Amino acid sequence: MKYWLLLITAIPFWACNAPDQNTASLQRQIDSLQARINKAYKPGFGEFMSGIQVHHNKLWFAGINQNWALADFEINEIKESLDDIRTYCTDRPETKSIGMIDAPLQNIANAIQQKNDTGFKSAFKVLTATCNTCHQATQHGFNVIIIPSLPPFSNQEFRLQDKK
């Protein structure tokens, strides 16, 4: 009889102990995963900007050569990099200023849709001025962006035979 009593009182302890061990092992897994996330490579603000710099340049040569499909592609690449900044650079206060570039980008997108040569050029000037406005506003005014005079690479053709 006594043994039964012992057994009955011991069961709840087993029952409680097992989840405790599970919780501890889960916590260890979470901690090690968190440590891995903390160490995972994440591109910085400047790296996204360097990508945007290349697309800004290509966008110009696509537009002035009326390669509208490429221009559309390049503007979307810029938008993707800006979205990545919004996702990955939340720790940078400058990210809050990103919105200022949305309207200038939309104006270029409209000119591209309309295949409007002069509209494209003037919208591109406004875009470039906005790059600099943000650099000045974020204490990076020494980073001056201009309308490019040369394409970034020699191995890409901007002018298409049949302009589409």
Q: What are the residues binding ligand HEC (CB under 6 A)?
A: 45-46, 49-50, 52-53, 56, 94, 97-98, 100-101, 127, 131, 134-135, 138, 140, 143, 145
C-alpha span between 5 and 139 (Å, rounded): 75
Shortest distance in whole angstroms from residue 76 CB to ligand HEC: 13
Judged by CB, which is closer to ligand HEC: 80, or 94?
Answer: 94
Judged by CB, which is closer to ligand HEC: 112, or 145?
Answer: 145
| Amino acid in the structure at residue 30 | I
Shortest distance in whole angstroms from residue 24 CB to ligand HEC: 41
Using only C-alpha atoms, what is the Rg of the chain?
28
Shortest distance in whole angstroms from residue 112 CB to ligand HEC: 15
Shortest distance in whole angstroms from residue 69 CB to ligand HEC: 20
Shortest distance in whole angstroms from residue 130 CB to ligand HEC: 6
Judged by CB, which is closer to ligand HEC: 58, or 135?
Answer: 135
Judged by CB, which is closer to ligand HEC: 107, or 160?
Answer: 107
Cα of first residue to Cα of last residue in the chain, in angstroms, is 93
* H-run or E-run covering 132: helix 117-137
The answer to whether the beta carbons of residues 134 and 101 sit under 8 Å apart is yes
C-alpha span between 45 and 26 (Å, rounded): 34
> Which token pair is 122?
């003037």
By beta carbon distance, the residue nearest ligand HEC is: 46
Residues sharing a CB contact under 8 Å with residue 158, sequence separation 6 or more, in sequence order: 58, 61, 62, 65, 67, 70, 151
Judged by CB, which is closer to ligand HEC: 47, or 158?
Answer: 47
